[in-house]
Amino acid sequence: MNFQAVKAIYFFEMARFFRTLLQSFVSPVISTSLYFVVFGTAIGSRIQEVEGISYGAFIVPGLIMLSVMTQATSNGSFGIYFPKFIGTIYELLSAPISYFEIILGYVGAAATKALFIGLVILATAAIFVDLKILHPVAMILFLVLTCISFSLLGFILGIWARNFEQLQLVPLLVVTPLVFLGGSFYSVSMLPPIWQTISLFNKLVGTFFR
């Protein structure tokens, strides 16, 4: 295992992330705040509790997973697509590094970025609602596995994509709709029986532990 090569790719990608840290940090904070203002005020005033949990606390896992999934997919795809776009991918392919090590470097960096965004959103949500995490270790483990899984999906998408429009195809047309329809902002038990059955075909429903 060429750890030096993996480390070089990882820190190169992380350096690009920290160069736009203000955008990377402020954007999720503003988005989360807007979600709480819109959903918490407009819907939360009508739905006080969902399954014994305040509506504000109820939507926190959905907000975190929505951002983590989209960010992991986007970062994973852009990380490998951009070298293809500017032509530096050939320098990487000619270096003494295996495909597995390339994947490890890019996916590791994309997963780290998504995990950072998820923790930022969690901290922002704690400002608006009273959060109680019963199993913090399981939560972190689940977040890490989600980041890695969707970073791998993004990496595959980045290899497949031929233009920037195709990079946004899966995050916008697949991941985001499935999250919104997966019980992130409502309980599946609130739906009519037929729609509860249909919702079970959405694999992201189980993600929110509803």
Question: What per-residue confidence (pLDDT) applies to 209?
Answer: 44
The answer as to whether 144 is a domain residue is yes
| Residues 77 and 168: beta-carbon distance below 8 Å | no
- What b/e readout covers 33-60, taking b as 16+ CB neighbours within 10 angstroms? eebbeebbeeebeeeeebeeebbbbbbb
Domain that holds residue 143: 3-162
The answer as to whether 129 is a domain residue is yes
The answer as to whether 187 is a domain residue is no
The answer as to whether 107 is a domain residue is yes
Number of domains in the chain: 1
Q: How far apart are CA 49 and CA 54, in angstroms?
A: 4
Task: Tell me the pLDDT tens digit for each residue of 76-120.
Answer: 888 888 888 888 888 888 888 888 999 999 999 999 999 988 888
- Alpha carbon separation from 199 to 53, 66, 75, 207 (Å, rounded): 21, 17, 28, 12
Question: What per-residue confidence (pLDDT) applies to 48?
Answer: 67
Residues lower than pLDDT 70 in the chain: 23-24, 39-51, 183, 202-210
